[in-house]
Structure 1
């Protein structure tokens, strides 16, 4: 038996190698999801049972576009959970620059000192959006984060092994965190009854999303998959955990579109019917800057900038 990582309860899988099966035991992190009803997004706390070290994935800074009010209530609830459960925050992780909510990564770093990280292709998203926002002096070099992860890079949360998969298509910079037996797949796949993510944002690509999905579905069948959003299909309660096997068998887009060409046609046709997210122009200027709000102006107030007719 080959053991990869550790961390409390483990999950086993078998690899057929033409010889007697090789059994691999994958570390099983403790995963807690926090559903944000206004955006349909899920924040995660992922903990190593062995060391009580944890990471936060895709934290939300609350924002009301009607009043312009910001709040740290959602992010503070994560810190409360971590404190109540005796955990120690080791990482603040984003899967990509979000288009429908502000990231609370910078706020959480200020509160805790834990490092912020994202995929290294975020520089491509920064370069694209600095033109849209007409920010010639904006540093599109990823320096807003403490660590930029490349495809295939590995690190640890406590004793839990983490591997980074580059998963573009929804955005140029999207990554998946594979933590033991759990994959955090952001906006590639949703729950099987909701299909797959849109690809019509600047830099998106249905063909690249198809290839990213195939990489995720190549993980062991029992791998738990945690989605970035849930839109409560049919009015059901929020859900955010599935498996590779369930996605292969029942995802409404993947059982209809069996080839890349079929998927691209399906995805692009659906994308043409979708309005832009209501917060995309609000959020990207914050999120390409690591979750930092604009600096206060001379009167002490912060202001967002909106490019008209750009999308």
Structure 2
């Protein structure tokens, strides 16, 4: 990808922070152990402007009950720090947790953002869940759809969106100053990479996306969407560096070829069960974090397609 001007811009931005020419963002993480999900508030410490990345809406599947306990921790932090939220960002339409974006938007403001390829995901899963014409497949449930290379601002700190498909067609990474929020592409180096067997997933595309991210400078702070505790590790970790990923990632370190990765990923994915919350999560997240429209009794229902996935 020698002609990839977008990644070159991201590289230059990280180096600018390291040289002291650009302010580094502050990052506060929130780990949701029931879904192994890391959410983030990233902010400009001087301008006090912020973005929220990959929030969680608590959902108990056996009872169908929801709560905003986890999201309220984010609300409390934002208010305690005196931050103004400009953006509520999703790296993709998650298959393992429900997004709390609408609740956070109601409490804190900000525009809801996702990659523009969400329309592809909506098309695929709109068919799987047999959604009617009332379900828009144009991304209109979100405030802004961003493309590869598009830039937003968090105060005076630029954010560059990188399209990193493979886990799903719509995955984005966000490079904010010297911090990269890489969603479901890589996990901690001792755990490896994300699966690529969901509808629209592609192991070869995931490999290329990872290699694109690995062009970022060694000292780039890398923030993950999940951690599942690798074997022989007894604590959760969701921050690393690009040097650690490039040299030590057990699935895709330097020297691993695309063919080798695709073979490994395909064989490994065939042994994995579907995520516990994939069916409710996708139905909600493809709607921007909203439940399906209530029926005539005022209750929202989630579908359970049988023998489809």
Whether the TM-score (by the shorter chain) exceeds 0.5 is: yes
- Distance apart, 1:156 and its partner CA: 0.3
Q: Report whether the alignment pairs 1:188 with 2:185.
A: yes
Question: 5 Å matches for 1:87-98?
Answer: 87-98=83-94
- Distance apart, 1:25 and its partner CA: 4.1
Indicate the SS of the match to 1:186.
coil
Indicate the SS of the match to 1:177.
strand
Name 1:220's counterpart in structure 2. Answer: 217
Name 2:123's counterpart in structure 1. Answer: 127
* Runs of 5+ consecutive residues of structure 1 not aligned to the other structure: 13-22
Greater fraction of residues in strand? 1
Name 2:32's counterpart in structure 1. Answer: 36
* Equivalent residue for 2:271, pick from 259, 273, 295: 273
Tell me the TM-score normalised to structure 1 length: 0.91
Name 1:249's counterpart in structure 2. Answer: 247
Name 1:230's counterpart in structure 2. Answer: 227
**Which whole-Å CA distance do the structure 2 matches of 1:274 and 1:252 have between them?**
18
- Of stretches 104-113 and 49-58 in structure 1, the one that deviates more from structure 2 is 104-113
- Of stretches 60-69 and 25-34 in structure 1, the one that deviates more from structure 2 is 25-34
**Which whole-Å CA distance do the structure 2 matches of 1:95 and 1:273 have between them?**
25
Please report the RMSD computed on the Cα atoms of aligned residues, expressed in angstroms.
Answer: 1.6
Name 2:57's counterpart in structure 1. Answer: 61
Name 1:106's counterpart in structure 2. Answer: 102
**Which whole-Å CA distance do the structure 2 matches of 1:255 and 1:222 have between them?**
16
- Kept after mapping to 2: 8 A contact 1:257/1:263: no
Name 2:194's counterpart in structure 1. Answer: 197
- Kept after mapping to 1: 8 A contact 2:86/2:109: no
Q: Report whether the alignment pairs 1:47 with 2:43.
A: yes
**Which whole-Å CA distance do the structure 2 matches of 1:30 and 1:97 have between them?**
25
- Distance apart, 1:235 and its partner CA: 4.3
- Distance apart, 1:296 and its partner CA: 2.3
**Which whole-Å CA distance do the structure 1 matches of 2:39 and 2:131 have between them?**
30
* Runs of 5+ consecutive residues of structure 2 not aligned to the other structure: 1-11
Name 1:175's counterpart in structure 2. Answer: 172
- Of stretches 172-181 and 231-240 in structure 1, the one that deviates more from structure 2 is 231-240
- Distance apart, 1:271 and its partner CA: 0.5
User: Relative contact order (alpha carbons < 8 A, sep ≥ 6): 1 or 2 greater?
Assistant: 2
**Which whole-Å CA distance do the structure 2 matches of 1:199 and 1:121 have between them?**
16
Q: How many residues align?
A: 295
